[in-house]
Amino acid sequence: MARKFPLNRLRNFGIVAHVDAGKTTTSERVLFYTGMSHKIGEVHDGATVTDWMEQERERGITITAAAISCNWSKSEVVDRKDESQMYTFNIIDTPGHIDFTAEVKRSMRVLDGAVVVFDSVAGVEPQSETNWGYADEAGVPRICFINKMDRLGADFEKSYKSIQDRLSKKAVRIQLPWGAEENFFGVVDLIKMKAYVFEGEMGMVVKEVEIPAELQADAEKYRAELIERVVEHDDTLMEAFLEGNLPSDEDLKATLRKAVIANQIFPVMTGSALKNIGVQLVLDAVVDYLPAPTDLPPVRGINPKDDSEVFRSASDEEPFCALAFKLQTDPFVGQLTFFRVYSGVVKAGSYIFNASTGEKERLGRIVRLQADKRTEVEEVYAGEIAAGVGLKEVMTSHTLCDEDKPIILESIIFPEPVVAMRVEPKTKNDQEKMSTALKKLSDEDPTFKVTSDAETMETIIAGMGELHLEILVDRMKREFGVEANVGAPQVAYRETIQREAEAEYKYIKQSGGRGQYGHVKIKIRPIEARDPEEKLPKNVTREDHFEFINNIKGGVIPQEFIPAVMKGAKEAMARGFVAGYKMEDVAVELFDGSYHDVDSSEIAFKLAAIHAFKEAAARAGAVLLEPVMKVEIRTPEQFMGDINGNISSKRGQVESMGDLGDKKVITAKVPLSEMFGYTNTLRSMTQGRASMMMEFDHYDVVPPNVAIEIKKARGVKSDEADAE
């Protein structure tokens, strides 16, 4: 079975936005206009295709990224069924709520482009900035769509300015709105210098008309600005422009496309998805400006055999290479593994090599996804996104490839959880089912962690926020039939050290026969964020938030005992020192010690390392760290004083105050421990008129008086934990 459309007519893109910017409504229009659905579902009716989970429909928010495949012919094409004019779209509709940010992060890793949706009243919002940052990290080209131009208070220019001020100066208008609020009629295209209105059922008919007289001056002014911005990216056009020659529309579009793919320009469009205005032109822009897999450089990876760099181009002729980016439990077929094929072809029923684990597995079936519906296919080609059935050992970020030409692609790095809570099964019958459910849910979601408290034997679940954990407990009940009791949310504290310290420990134990002997001298010091690409010396081992330096000279400790010392240091860090929380960002240097020919063993060196680390931590100024959240509050002016005072009482710091329409915007940094239940407090303070968004910002040292209370709650004596 051959590829239906050439690779250069494939577009993999995501639709991303802050919660409530109209992202899912836009996705529904895309499905309708591309012919994938024959009825537009609305979020407020709980009838959308991409929000298919029960929890999504009940709450009116997107929780999980939904993948859709569809075909599109540009709106100017007369014969919509002419396959020679069609493009294939693989679209991922991502969540906008900060608690489900991992879905955006992993989607950005495998997408070639993104349509970033903004609310024309609110402009850039907190999660817009987070998503934009993920796109910057992944180098994903973007188109901006200022949506909801029909809303009361819609302001295109203000939203456009917020994109330029808060996200990127590289944003440039390629459209203008024709009217606003209830008088929003259509859009003006600054490249073609034509206006467009949308008629017929659900705005299906895109009608080109002349620009209305009242917009002509603005259109000419902003087209001149657009031309200036575009010609900067082509020397020939720039030269001609300086001589007074304007570029043709074709040259303008071709140069704009190159600049967009190089992340030098972010085109800004506008419309109203709910009123069916402008969405088809966004799809045309996806074709015109976002890259096909062939427009991007080859994907880079590492050959696991010799650690050399290898590259794979987007071609069916290259060896097979794909990245698993998402797992999903399906009630009918079991686990689905979503993967993006970067090169080569893979067939259903074939064996594939998991380069991340070194294991081979059979890919039973391959399906294309339409949100929760599946279509079986026999094979998948380079550049495409699909899901596999039957892969039991594959996890998120694993590389699937040809065994003879192995490659490991760069992993997706997810943020650490910041909120934890206790969970226990209601009945004995639920106990076994709960562990299965938690395992499957944590496999699906890398920001959802499950641990067991060794002292209390309680199960602790941790995630990105209260809503995140609430949804997962609800899924456990609905999808796996597990009834569970949950405790109050807890903060995921961490520990670290503030200065360098050194310690020595001899572990000697004599019993009737052979004894135990392990002697180590170590130094520990804080480590800053390091460049993951940095080439490490052979004696340095680096892992997440930990570094081990082996500086043993002359064999004073035999090589076979060194891994045991590293294991002991890591175990001591996991147990913590101040209040029993995991310790992070510590470098441990083993520089001296001794051994006994008969009595030395791995366990003796491991225990010596644990004791030495504890002694060093006591001298290194070990402290507790707490997650600090970035909080943005939008409120009527009369409540600002109360809110600012309340933030100060919560150990928060107000960073800025600004205006947004008729509301004031307060941005603050506040410890997470002070923010549980804050939404209700805010509502009662402001008669329900203020709103709040919160996202993780950084970890910071806990003040001494608060640290004492945390230690008490953990049953740790303060004087003992603070011993110097």
Which candidate, 698, 665, 670, places its Cα nearest to that of 162? Answer: 665
Q: Say whether both 631 and 615 belong to one domain.
A: no
Is 148 assigned a ligand-binding role in the annotation? yes
pTM of structure: 0.72
User: Any known ligand binding at 17?
Assistant: yes
**Does the pLDDT of residue 529 top 70, yes or no?**
no
- Is 372 assigned a ligand-binding role in the annotation? no
Q: What is the pLDDT of residue 43?
A: 43
Confirm whether residue 24 is marked as ligand binding: yes
Is 147 known to sit in a ligand binding site? Answer: yes
Q: Among residues 620, 647, 680, which one ends one of the domains?
A: 620
718 assigned to some structural domain: no
pLDDT mean over 522-549: 82
Residues 504 and 476 in one domain: no
* pLDDT for the residue 513: 67
Q: Regarding predicted confidence, which is higher, 519 or 468?
A: 519
- 22 has binding-site annotation: yes
- Which residues span the domain enclosing 186? 7-289
CATH code, domain carrying 690: 3.30.70.240
Query: Does residue 724 belong to any structural domain of this protein?
Result: no
Strands 10-17 and 86-93: parallel
User: Using CA atoms, how far apart are residues 622 and 616, in angstroms rounded to an integer?
Assistant: 9
For residue 582, say whether it is annotated as part of any ligand binding site.
Answer: no
Better-predicted residue by pLDDT, 219 or 437: 219
pLDDT digits (tens, 9 = 90+) for 598-617: 888 999 999 999 999 999 99
Judge whether residue 223 has pLDDT over 90.
yes
More confident site: 685 or 43: 685
| Side-chain half-sphere exposure of 408, counting CA atoms within 13 A | 16
pLDDT reported for residue 98: 56
User: 673 and 528, same structural domain?
Assistant: no
pLDDT band at residue 370 under the 50/70/90 scheme? low
Residue 31 in 3-state DSSP?
helix
Residue 637: count other Cβ atoms within 10 Å of its Cβ. Answer: 10
Q: Tell whether residue 247 is among the known ligand binding residues.
A: no
**141 and 37 housed in the same domain:** yes
Same domain, 279 and 244: yes
Surface-to-core class of residue 443, CB atoms within 10 Å of its CB (0-12 exposed, 13-18 middle, 19+ buried): middle
Q: According to the model, what pLDDT value does residue 440 have?
A: 85
Q: What's the CATH code of the domain at 203?
A: 3.40.50.300
Confidence grade of residue 426 (pLDDT, cut at 50, 70, 90)? confident
Residue 698 among known ligand-binding residues: no
The answer to the question of residue 715 being in a domain is: no
User: Do 49 and 15 share a structural domain?
Assistant: yes
Q: Is 21 annotated as a binding residue?
A: yes
Within this chain, do residues 609 and 703 fall inside the same structural domain, yes or no?
Answer: no
Q: Which of 258, 289, 320 is the last residue of a domain?
A: 289
Asked if residue 316 is part of any domain, the answer here is yes
pLDDT tens digit sequence for 93-114: 776 555 566 777 778 888 899 9
Inside any domain, residue 565:
yes
- 471-513 pLDDT tens trace: 888 888 888 888 888 887 778 899 999 999 999 999 998 766 6
Q: Which residue has the higher pLDDT, 385 or 101?
A: 385
Q: Is 717 inside any structural domain?
A: no
Give CA separation, 336 vs 320, 324, 339, 367, in Å: 20, 10, 10, 9
Overall average pLDDT of the 57-72 stretch: 61
236 is in an annotated binding site: no
The reply, when asked if residue 96 is annotated as ligand binding, is yes
Which of the listed residues 355, 389, 409 is the one where a domain comes to its end? Answer: 409
Q: What is the mean pLDDT of the chain?
A: 85
Q: How confident is the model at residue 52 (pLDDT cuts 50, 70, 90)?
A: very low
Q: Quick one: average pLDDT of 321-335?
A: 81
Angle between helices 213-231 and 249-261 (to 10 degrees): 60
Whether 424 shows a pLDDT value over 80: the answer reads yes
- CA distances to 128, 179, 284, 596, 658 from 101, rounded to whole Å, are 11, 34, 28, 52, 26
Tell which wins on pLDDT, 298 or 78: 298
Q: Is residue 211 part of a domain?
A: yes
112 is in an annotated binding site: no
Is the model more confident about 661 or about 313?
313
23 is in an annotated binding site: yes
Query: What are 257's two structure tokens?
Result: 């496309």
Q: pLDDT at residue 244 above 90?
A: no
pLDDT of residue 599: 87
Per DSSP, the residues of 417-453 read P-EEEEEEESSHHHHHHHHHHHHHHHHH-TT-EEEE-
Q: Are 433 and 418 in contact (CB under 8 A)?
A: no
Position 723 in a domain: no
Q: Count the domains in the chain.
A: 5
Say whether both 309 and 184 belong to one domain.
Answer: no
519 is known to lie in a ligand binding site: no
74 is in an annotated binding site: no
CATH code, domain carrying 424: 3.30.70.870
Strands 419-425 and 490-491: antiparallel
Q: Where is mean pLDDT largest: 371-380, 457-466, 671-680?
A: 671-680
Does pLDDT of 647 surpass 90?
A: yes
The 10s digit of each residue's pLDDT in 259-309 is 999 999 999 999 999 999 999 999 999 999 999 999 999 999 999 888 888
Same domain? For 376 and 504 the reply is: no
The CATH number of whichever domain residue 351 belongs to comes to: 2.40.30.10
Q: Is 119 among the annotated ligand-binding positions? A: no
Regarding predicted confidence, which is higher, 326 or 189? 189
The answer to whether residues 251 and 375 belong to one domain is: no
Are both 468 and 519 inside the same structural domain?
Answer: no
The average pLDDT across 366-390 equals 81
Residue 47 has pLDDT above 50, yes or no: no
Same domain, 537 and 631: no
pLDDT at 57 over 50: no
